[in-house]
Each structure stands twice: as C-alpha cells, then as structure tokens.
Structure 1
C-alpha cells in the first residue's frame, strides 16, 4: 500500500510574495505546492498602465535582497530576455510596472509547483497535527485533498469599497478595474475620481492625457488635506527595513495603531514624478489663459452616490468650511485603496487560531499565526501583518526577507542568512 505523501508546505495565493517564497525554496529539499484561482500570474492588471513604474527599486524583486546570486533575480531575467543593455542605457532605478508583471510571469513559468486555476476552499487540522487542504479546480469543478506540515497564507489584500455607496450601477467601479473599463470612461461626458493616493493620481493623469480627444469633464475629489507627495527621503525609506519591523513589533498594540495613522504618507501619498507630470500638463493646457476642463478639490468627502436623471449624483462635504454640495457625473472611479481580509478557507481552523480584540490574526514576530495548541506545524502569513509588523508588510522590498525568515523555519536550518539589524543608520528606539 502506497504511503500518502505529506507535503512540507502549501502556499495559498500566488502574488509576488508567495511567488518569491516558491523561488527561494529552490535551495531547499522542501516539497511544496502553491495554489491560486487566477488562470495565470497577474499583478494588479487593472492598473498596468503604460508609463507607470514600481515605486521601489528593481532590487526589490522576488529574491535579490536575500540571494543576489539566484537565477530568479531581475537582472538575470533581463539577461535571459537579452535586455541588459536596454536597461543599462535606461538609467533608471524604478522599472515599468508592465515589465515587473512580465518578470513575475517568467518566474512562474519555471516553477511547476505553482498551480493556477485552483482555489483553496478549506483548511482543517488532522489528528496527526497536519493541515488538510481542499482545493477546487476552477475549470473542471474537481476537488482534491492534500496534507501538509505547514501552510503559508499569501492572499494579500482586496479592493476596498465603502459599504454606504450604491454599486448596482456599472458606472461606479474601483480603481483596480480601471484598465478594463477605461473605454467606457472615455465615452462619458463627465468622469469623477475619488481618492488621494498613487492610483487616483495615475488614473487622473491617464484620463487628462486623453481628454482633448474625448472632451469629457474631469473631476478629482479627496477627503485628505491635499494632493500630497509620498515621503521618499532616504531616512524616511529606512522605515521599510528589518530593523524598523523589529522595533515596531515590540510596541504595544495601541502605540502600533497610532504609529500607522501617523505614517500614512510613507506609503499612501503620490510620487513626486506623477504630481509633476500632472501639473506640467495642466500648465501646458492653460497657455493663452485657456481653462482646462478639470476640477481638483481636497478636504472634500464623498458622502453618497445616487442615480439621478441618467446620471450619478454625488453628495460632497467640505470639512473646513463645513458645507455641502452636489455634483453630477456619468462615471465615478473609486480609488479607495485595499484592505486585508480573512479568507473563507480558514473557517475550518478558525477555532484553533488566536484572534486579537479587533478580530485580526495574532501573528508572531517570525510570521507564524498564534494558535491555541502547541504544534510543530504552522500557519504563516505574508502581507497580512500590517497591524503587527508595520508599514513594511506590503512593501516589495521586504518580501524576500520575510520569505527567507519563513523558509529557515520550514527547512529547520539557516538556508538564508537573515540580517534583521544594522541595516540602517538611524536608531528607532532607546
């Protein structure tokens, strides 16, 4: 009788972080499978706009920050694509977003343990302490069950849409759908963007660039205090380091929440380049005292959206003036960001998991989820630990560090050298 194979690890979700984990596992003997319900790797496809770049250097690829010699580095990707000289002459640290997506697909094509088109439906604990994982084939509807010692949850975040708005109209959509719905927006007579981050700015600039050929009225509202740039000074960037993550993890929960609120511009603002591009284009359009057909307004919150005479009526509130107004628009694009979430597949083990007072996962410093029973088999989290580890959680530059930390535990030895201190010049605590 054949002995049933027990995998070392199963990855749930194949975004950039679990992709990096799978690539770095190549230097171990760990058996693994990774599942994602998407048909192929696709990184924010709705925002893969021409001219947009990553907001981090190319060194923040899947592997380089812990293993520069890996065959899965971005530089080796360029070498294999015969594009090293092109990149050399480009002389830019940030890379096109489309090329980053292509780079990730290039990695995925070389890793047979990545299974696209399969959704993890349920995770349970066996009597032996392993994880029993039920996987559904999106194409055939067939279910398979796997057993594994460890699970790494890498589902990331999902688009956030405030519940108070009416989304029955197909003319209201999240920024994550922009590329697929751009043609509809271009045919409208008026388009309104809500939000103050990089996605809102990129969409505004994209539409502004095409406005002369389509003649729509373009508005941009945000409840933020202004259209502010992201903090991108070198000492500010040191917050995206293992050192700061270590410091942040030791803070009391209340201090963590306060710190995150005060650090919004470290990861939620607009790049200097995008702001400059928008201003330059507006300036050019105003030559000869022409008035661009645009409206930008901060400190103004969207209160409600209603259908009104074949249009969408937006109720807006200006906080400093404490005044309200209504505007009509054919299309509304909500650049309202992304929020973490608890996937349904955890329902089978939710009774084993430790939850904090806000219903969030309690996560240890080494990225293990705290459970009510001691076990040598663990559930790990990638990009679900903003509340415990700080603003570096979603940052691509810390992805390889976190993956290496997890892999050393999966392998039971130091596969990768981890430098969690002395990577920065400043000291974050006493």
Structure 2
C-alpha cells in the first residue's frame, strides 16, 4: 500500500546527477526504505556539452554507480552492456576507461528504470517542521516546456542533496559573456555551439585543465592545416599531466577521505590548494594526442598556426569593434603583459559547487558552520544541524558539496558508490552495505604510538658461558 501524501518518507533526494543516481540505485533493493528523488530537468543528462567524440572519463569502468560496493547489483555498467548485447564487443575492445558518451548512456539506462526518480520536479524550498519533527520539501511540477504545472509538498525524515556544480567564470572574464554577437561560451556548452565556433577566424581557449585540453584538441582536429588560428592559454605554469601513479591514486580512497576529514580545518584548507594536480591536471593520453596532432602537421615543413601558452592569466577582457574580443594578458613568471585579439572564446574555467544557501534558506537557523561560514559536514556526510533537529532523527546528507571537509575525492566518480553506501548505512542504522576497513596500501597518518616494553629476559644456563665469550 502506497503512503499517503502526509506520511513522512525515509529519504528525499534533491538533484539527480551521478551521485544521487548512485544513491537511488543502491537504495532500490532496500524494501524498508521509502525514497523519492526529484530533479527539475526533463530527463537525465550528464555534461552534454562535453560529450566530445573520443573523450573518456578519468576513472575505470568499475567506478560505476554501484560496483565497488555491490558488484552483484543489477545496476552495474557490465549489466548495462549485457542488456544491450554489448558484452562481447566491450570484452574485445579492451577498454578500461570508457567514453563519456558511453557513461552518459549507462546512467540514462539506470535513470529510465528506477521508479523512485521524478524528473520535471523543481524543489523550491526545504523547511523543518518542529511540530511534526520532519522536513517539508516544497516542489513545482513542470510540464514539457518547463512551465509550472502543479505545486506539491513532500514530508521526509532525511534529505540527500545532490544538486551538483555550476559553470564558473572568473571575474576578469565576465565582461566577455556580456558581449552580444560574439561567440563566448563556457566549455559546458561547447558541443551546442561548436558549429558556430568553427566559423570564427581565430579562437582562444582559456583554461589549462582537462576540458580545455579536450576542446583545444577537438578544434585542432576540425581546422585545416595552416589555418588553425588557435590559441590556448592557462594559469598553471605548464599544461601539466594529472597525477595518475598507483600510489597517487590512493588519495581517492576511503582511507584518505577519513584521514583528511580528521585533520584540522586550517590544515585541510591548505592541503586543498596544493593538490590541484590530483584532479585538475590533464589526462596523459589527451596531451599525447594534442602533441601527435601538432607533430603530424610538421611532416612537410612549417608549423601549425596554433599557440599554446601556459603561465598566463587574464587581467581584463572585453569586446572591441563589432566582432572582436580583446584579452589583456599577464605572464605570471615573466611579469610581462600583452594583448590578444580573437574572434571567439571558449571558457574552460571549471565548475564550482552550487551554494546550499539558495535551497536551505529556511534551515539557516539550524545550520552549524565553520570559521569561514561553510557548512560543517560529519564523517557520514551529514550536515551539522542544531540538536533540536538531529535529536528527532532527521538528517541532511550532501553529495559533492563537502570538498572542504572530505578532500579531493569529493567530486570523483570512483567514490560515488562508497559514499552512497556510507549514507545508506547511516540512514538505516546498520551495515546494510558492508564496507572494507582498509582500501589503500598507504598509511596517511601516524598511529598513536604504544609504549614498546621489551619482554622479560628468561634465565638461561648458557648465560654465564655467553657472557664469557
């Protein structure tokens, strides 16, 4: 028998990206949980503007939504292949890292088959009702055109926020997006505007991470030799490869996450600024493909009309004339400045976590924050709330909003299943999904030393003889 509208659910998920999709998939077989997940989009999609042909995800296919905690789940990537009669082709393809488009198709398959997911539902507000000891979630049901169709309210004891990230544009570059008639796009929308971009005489890509590299490579492949007219700039001192050594990857394990969470706030903040190459560097294969493409164009003499300049920041930017853009550049190491005129710009400047305050404004009196006014998050991914809320058994879990407390693995797909299982174990109050006690060969901190007391020396009839030798 289905619950009445006033019956509190066990869990409401807000946002259906890969992380809450993982949570929904692992919650699906748990009959004791009543769950529902809302997303304002009409259907699942995952970075559609960056599903460039040949671009791969940066984690192995085993880092799907469920496998690393429940390989027998019906929602594994391998079961997706089986449902499409593609297991043997995948087997012979010998691909450890799958294409982005294939990962997106896998997530769509899961999303289309989980009954707890409700797309076209925009969550408007979240409040705590102290009289009923539950959260109230107000939402608007949207029609196919995205217009409001009906209003609704759901009551729940627990919430999982998976509202994702949003494209980030640094302040010096904001004047560019206010220049109508000139192609200036964020990399998140690259494929949507690719055809228009290719008509531009000169194109500049800003950003030295993976997205910038993939966009530059795709543009390079699409432009004829001698008429590339491309410029790629970035703030980092080099177009640096991502740290991908075996032991380096152990920073994306539960062991490191636990270690990081136990550090002091000031140490965590300092570490985050030093670990950019663990998650913001460029895949070595992408760098090799760019070099191969450039090298191929030198075989008959001459150099491609493409400029790659790291160590550069944009001081200011804006439109000049009618169809031109001008970037005022500063080389960080040389302390020199110059101007770059271009016809189109792709801003591969990354993403930022969506502020939780927009959605949780009604809970602000209950939220507990750190010294920088960020939400506190415990080891089980629960927001720190006033005891008047948590004492009732109500909790708010976050997914991909806790890098300041849980470290570089926060946005990594490889930790999705483990975090989802951790949340479900916390929510059910039992080991619903058994998790390993150890996941890395590296020991990230010193254990509390114990006094080393030598054992008592046992008397021996040989002692006098030995002492005399």
Aligned counterpart for 2:398 among listed residues 381, 387, 393:
381
- Superposed displacement of residue 3, structure 1: 7.7
The 4+ residue runs of structure 1 with deviation greater than 4 A are none
Distance 1:187 1:358 in 2: 45
Aligned counterpart for 2:102 among listed residues 95, 99, 102:
99
Is the Cα contact below 8 Å between 1:51 and 1:96 reproduced in 2?
yes
Counterpart in the other structure of 1:319: 332
Which piece of structure 1 moves more, 336-345 or 387-396? Answer: 336-345
Distance 2:50 2:196 in 1: 16
Counterpart in the other structure of 1:334: 347
Which piece of structure 1 moves more, 206-215 or 327-336? Answer: 206-215
Aligned counterpart for 1:371 among listed residues 375, 385, 394:
385
Counterpart in the other structure of 1:408: 425
Is the Cα contact below 8 Å between 1:14 and 1:35 reproduced in 2?
yes
Counterpart in the other structure of 1:86: 89
1:362 aligns with 2:376: yes
Aligned counterpart for 2:290 among listed residues 261, 268, 278:
278
Is the Cα contact below 8 Å between 1:47 and 1:176 reproduced in 2?
yes
Counterpart in the other structure of 1:235: 247
- Determine helix, strand or coil for the equivalent of 1:27: coil
Kindly report which structure 2 residues correspond to 1:119-138, keeping only aligned pairs within 5 A, or say none: 119-127=122-130, 128-138=132-142
Q: Highest CA radius of gyration, 1 or 2? A: 2
* Contiguous gaps of at least 5 residues in structure 1: none
Distance 1:424 1:213 in 2: 47
Distance 1:411 1:427 in 2: 30
Distance 1:106 1:372 in 2: 39
Distance 2:187 2:105 in 1: 21
- Superposed displacement of residue 271, structure 1: 0.6
Counterpart in the other structure of 2:60: 57
Distance 1:88 1:3 in 2: 47
| TM, length-normalised to structure 2 | 0.89
Distance 1:217 1:19 in 2: 41
Kindly report which structure 2 residues correspond to 1:16-415, keeping only aligned pairs within 5 A, or say none: 16-28=18-30, 29-127=32-130, 128-139=132-143, 140-141=147-148, 142-164=150-172, 165-166=174-175, 167-170=177-180, 171-212=183-224, 215-310=227-322, 311-343=324-356, 344-373=358-387, 374-375=390-391, 376-415=393-432
Is the Cα contact below 8 Å between 1:186 and 1:216 reproduced in 2?
no
Distance 1:352 1:241 in 2: 31
Alpha-carbon RMSD: 1.3
- Determine helix, strand or coil for the equivalent of 1:30: coil
Distance 1:291 1:337 in 2: 30
* Contiguous gaps of at least 5 residues in structure 2: 447-469
Distance 2:153 2:222 in 1: 50
Which piece of structure 1 moves more, 249-258 or 133-142? Answer: 133-142
Is the Cα contact below 8 Å between 2:328 and 2:340 reproduced in 1?
yes
- Determine helix, strand or coil for the equivalent of 2:325: strand
Distance 1:308 1:357 in 2: 43
Matched length: 428
- Determine helix, strand or coil for the equivalent of 1:383: coil
Counterpart in the other structure of 2:14: 12
| TM, length-normalised to structure 1 | 0.97
- Determine helix, strand or coil for the equivalent of 2:382: coil
